[in-house]
Each structure stands twice: as C-alpha cells, then as structure tokens.
Structure 1
C-alpha cells in the first residue's frame, strides 16, 4: 500500500486552511502542515525536503507577502519534482496562470474549492505515485537486460509511453538509457499501428553538464539573487523623485515628501508590471533567470545550454 505523503497548505485565510485540512484528514492524510504566507511556506517545505519528504503543496494564488510565481520558483529550486496544486479564482486561460503551469504547476484547483475536485486531484496523485513506484522498480529490472533482450526494450518503451501524452525521441532515449536502431524501428512499428503519431521535430534545451532535456526555469532578483520577489505596480512622484509601491501612497500622498499626487502624467507616473524584491527592496522591469536540470540539478544560463532537436511523438492509443 502506498504511504500518503505530507501535505503543505499555503492559504492566507485560516478558515479555508482549516476546512482543507479537515477534509484531507477524512481522505486519510495525517501529516498536514498549514502556513498563511509564502516565506513560512518555503521554510517549512525546505525542512521537509531536508528530511527526504516530498510534500504535496496546496498553494493559494494570492498571498500577502509574495506572489505565486516567486513561491513556485523557490519550491522547484528546492525539489525540482515538487507537486504544486494552484488554488485560484482566476480563469485557467489567464496568461499569468498559463505561465505558472508552464513553469511547473502540477494541477489547477478553481476557487471556491469544490471538495470533489480536490478529492479527484489527490486520487490522481496517489495513482501516479503508486504507478511510478512500481515503474521505477520495473525500469531498473528492464534496464539490466535491455541490450540483450529486444522484447524487454519494447516493454520499457511501452511503459514510458503509457505515462506520456507527448514525448520527444531525445527524452525517450534518455529515459531508457541508450540510443540505437532498435528504438527507432520499434517507434516506426508503433506509428504503423497508429499507437503513436509523429508531430514534427522538437527543439529542446539540454543541460550543459549531462545533456538531459528535463529542464525547468528558476527566477531571482538581479541585485541580491533572492527568489523572494513579487510582481506589482510602482509610482514615481516627479516632484521629489520617490519611486515605491502603489500601496505606499496612502490617501494619494507621497510617502517621501507627503505631498498629494493629483494628475497622472503631470505629478506622477505608474510603472506597471515591475518585479519588487522582498529582500533588498530593489525593483526591476525584468527578472533574472537560470535553467535547472531536473536530472543532475545543474544550474546554467540559456546561452550555456545545448540545443537538441529530435522527432516529437503524440501518444494516441497505448
């Protein structure tokens, strides 16, 4: 029987956090941790990771101290395969949500939370965990004999394809551990049987240390290198030159000189979509980023990566 993982609830509403905790306890989860802000959540996640535990994270999209992108980036830097379920009332096709999904959000949970949807997500996680625990043992066994036994190689490829919707030849070969004609000929056989279809070539960024194409992006402050940042608006007061967050201008008064700001474009300007570092208080129109290899955990710059192109396949009926 699969052991249930820890759960980390990151929710600024104590009432909602308690409802989620009570419901998950009914589903059999006993190791539940709750946090009301991003910084505490990251520290708690780090402590669990240091104990070789892999918590499932329920992350509220809007928190008082940090934005979801900053928190997600730091969680993935600690544990590249972290399962983060995003809770938000924002539509799934919103560009901000789409970006978080591209960065590595595991699932999207619409607010107000419907418990049957939450149960469905956790049941999926349990099934995947059980599958990959069994798959890991099977892959180890199959890898020992893959070069000697073509049938075992085919079983290994089938196993990987069943857990994929799309996969590149580069990634497939890395997962099975070798590349030769037997792989491409078997993929051709699967194509002929309409089990997979080729959907063109795929160019992927590869690690400059191990060549793996399992890569994610991490983001940080250009000044102090902290990942503790948020996206927000700034206001520049022309009269005294003060630039600070919108919420510091209480009652339309400049926090530096205490004068009223009246006319946009005359007294002040609004600087949209700037990144504000919670550590050094710097602000930037663009954030710095590195790429993190999920295989060897090597960090590198975009220009340092190795671009790799291979055929891309869609799994139709495995």
Structure 2
C-alpha cells in the first residue's frame, strides 16, 4: 500500500472517529438556534421557545451565522437544536441542512412550514434526516410536542450509552471507583448511583472499601493520570538502573551487564566494597544522561488538561467496588 493510501485511510479513520464522537453529544435544553428572516415571525418563535424552557434563542438571518454558532457549540461539546422557517428558498434550506449534518450527522433540525407533511420538499427533508416539522399556524402545544419527543429520545439514548460505557469500564477492571465512574461518564450523582445499584443487584460488583482519591485542584475531577518525568529535561526516556562509584577515579556511571571496566580511567572496576560501591534504585535518563533517585511526578487532568503536583491535589472520598468475574 502506498504512503498516500495509508495517509488517506488514516484520515478517513480519524473522520469516522470524530463523527462517532460528535454523534454522542448531549442536546442543549437551554440554547436554540433559529434561522428566520422575518422579524415579526422571529419574535413569535422566540416567545414559544422561551415558553417551553429555552433561555437563549439565537436568531440568525444569514446561513453562515447559523452554521458558525452551531459549530461553536459543537466545539464546546454541546449540540444545539436548529429551527428553520421555510420562508427561505428550498435550496437554502438544503444548504444549511447539509452543512449542519456535515458538522454533526444527527443534529436536531426542525422545519417550520405551511406545507403538508406529504409535500415532496418536506418528505425529501425528512428523508435527509431532519428531526421534525412544526406546521403553521404555530401553537405552543406543537412546540411542546416536538421538543418533548426530541429530548425524550435523547435522554433514553444517553442512558443507554452510559450503561454501555459503564459495562466497558467494569469488564476492563478489577476494581472501580465511584468517583472515577462519575467523572469519566459525566453522569450525575443519581445516575451513577443507579448504574452501581443495578450492577450490584446483578452481583457484577461488590462494595469493598472507601478511599481518598487525588482529584484535580482546578476542576475537582478524579479523571486524572499520573506522569513521571526526568527532573532535568522533563523527558520520559529513562529507566531504573543501579549506579557504580569507582573509588580509584571517583567516576559514577550506570551499571551494565558484563561491563568490568570504568569508562573514565579504563581500569578494571575491581571488587565491590573494596574498589567500588553500588547505588541501587536509581534512574538514568537516556535523553540528557541525568541520574536521579526519584522521577519528577505530576498529575494531568484529562478533563481540563491541568497539570499539578501531588501536594497541590484535591482529595475526595470514594467507594471502591470489586468486580466479580
């Protein structure tokens, strides 16, 4: 396979991973985007949307503005419903639908129309993947029905994904922490407790003990990883190795198998205790050749990317569950 083909396949795999990731984003119940040219109609739509619970209604008259705002929310890992009034041309409606679906394939798009649902243009849009249609004349109940259906399906989907993710973590572990489950899955206290309760009742896990866990001192997440580095160059290319101090010339160097010659004076190192001594449990950096008794240890938060040392960590109590095979 050529290098260009390999690179193409790699990029296609990355695109598929991004599509799968963005498809799982939660739907905002606070923000909504409206594509509407008419000011009086925009005011009416805003009134209905605030009545069903939306707090921030982004009214757009240009397609590029609606797509930009939607893309900004996706970058913040939140999907926002989009409402399009079909008082714009059908070609422009298809354009915004296509652009939004390129960003998030399962985006929630609602069309406001005076046409019947069996109209050829409406059926084409429904086939393309729009979520629903609100027919004119507008009513508060029609808005309630549409968003109740969208959020109910989304909540069910999110619940199923949380259960699947929990099972993946459980089956890949010998012990699991309640804090880590909640921080990794981004579930609420109640949702996390329900997942654990269900698994406990199925005898898949059992409560073992309670511990203190290190947490990020910036966002309080326990979804962190431990990093060990060379204190001198901050590299990771080091290994544990005993050191030899040669009494004759004072040289200190890493002990190597079958090496009996000092690299400085080129003399035989002699007998241990008489001609040289060993330092155990040292580390040698292959990048800068520094030697040290203990690596520099830091934590990296996988949620906010904060780096911090152990003495600055926050500490949280957590229940530990043993996974039963």
Q: TM-score, normalised by structure 2?
A: 0.48
- Name the larger-Rg structure: 2
Select the structure with the greater relative contact order (CA < 8 A; seq sep ≥ 6). Answer: 1
